[in-house]
Amino acid sequence: MAKEKHVHQYKKIKKSEIFRCIKPGCRHYLRKEFAIGAISICPRCGGTFQLNNRNMKLEMPHCADCTQRRNQSELEQIKEFMEKIS
Ligand SMILES: [Zn+2]
Ligand SMILES: [Zn+2]
């Protein structure tokens, strides 16, 4: 595997306190207490943000901007999906 530097995109492993990077080929992971303050990639907007106690409660942490918009955009996505399959 080529050594390619990237910003890790963290996802919580279910029923654990471990956050791992979901980028292909990356086996990086951190325990919760060490992941606080780590820079991660937001899965929604692709921007970078710092992990904190609040966004680490999510299985797939995302940035503060996207957290605020979350409920609305998820409703929109569900609506779009329902329109597609109906
Ligand atoms: Zn990584
Ligand atoms: Zn975001």
The predicted-structure confidence for 11-68, as pLDDT tens digits, reads as follows 999 999 999 999 999 999 999 999 999 999 999 999 999 999 999 999 999 999 988 7
Q: What is the DSSP string of 8-54?
A: --EEEPTTSSEEEE-STT---EEEHHHHTT-EEE-TTT--EEE--TT
How many Å apart are CA 55 and CA 30, to the nearest integer? 15
> Taking the complete model, does pTM exceed 0.85, yes or no?
no
Q: How far is the CA of 31 from the centre of ligand 2 (A)?
A: 22
Q: How far is the CA of 34 from the centre of ligand 2 (A)?
A: 22
Q: How far is the CA of 15 from the centre of ligand 1 (A)?
A: 21
Q: How far is the CA of 39 from the centre of ligand 1 (A)?
A: 11
**Which ligand has the nearest atom to the CA of 28?**
1
